[in-house]
């Protein structure tokens, strides 16, 4: 894998993206689980078209620090950059920002797998 792999994902925060909607809290601000999903989307974007026939990647670990609340109607952007590879394991640094600055930072680990083999093992 190339070390310069990056991906982005953007979101205009709507009610369905809030902690109240996710039932991860009771406030109408961007939910931490939605931030995790946005970061994973950015990592998948970074890998798009690079894995070869029959391969995919799956998320296996997320480490995230949620730094700031973001309200409905605000836009956020996640950026993922490949930090290192460890065999089939890919570790990405991720950050999420809005117009005011940093919203969240962390790492997302993905593992490259054979799609058919992986699906055959699903419970």
Instruction: Sketch the domain layout of the chain as residue ranges.
Output: 6-120
| Average pLDDT value for the chain | 95
CATH hierarchy code of domain 6-120: 3.10.129.10
> What are the distances in angstroms from CA 78 to CA 61, 75, 86, 98, 116?
17, 10, 23, 9, 29
Instruction: Pick the range with the lowest mean pLDDT from 4-8, 19-23, 96-100.
Output: 4-8
The whole-number pLDDT of residue 14 equals: 98
**Cα(109)–Cα(11) distance, integer angstroms:** 21
Q: Strand locations in 1-123, DSSP E?
A: 6-12, 55-66, 75-86, 89-98, 101-114
């Amino acid at each position: 894998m190339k070390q310069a792999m990056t991906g982005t994902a953007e979101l205009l925060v709507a009610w369905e993206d809030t902690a109240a909607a996710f039932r991860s809290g009771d406030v109408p601000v961007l939910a931490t689980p939605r931030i995790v999903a946005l970061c994973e989307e950015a990592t998948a974007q970074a890998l798009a078209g690079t894995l070869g026939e029959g391969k995919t990647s799956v998320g296996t670990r997320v480490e995230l620090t949620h730094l700031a609340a973001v309200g409905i109607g605000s836009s956020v952007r996640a950026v993922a950059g490949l930090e290192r590879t460890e065999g089939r394991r890919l570790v990405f640094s991720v950050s999420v920002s809005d117009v005011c600055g940093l919203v969240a930072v962390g790492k997302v680990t993905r593992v490259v797998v054979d799609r058919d083999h992986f699906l055959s093992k699903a419970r």
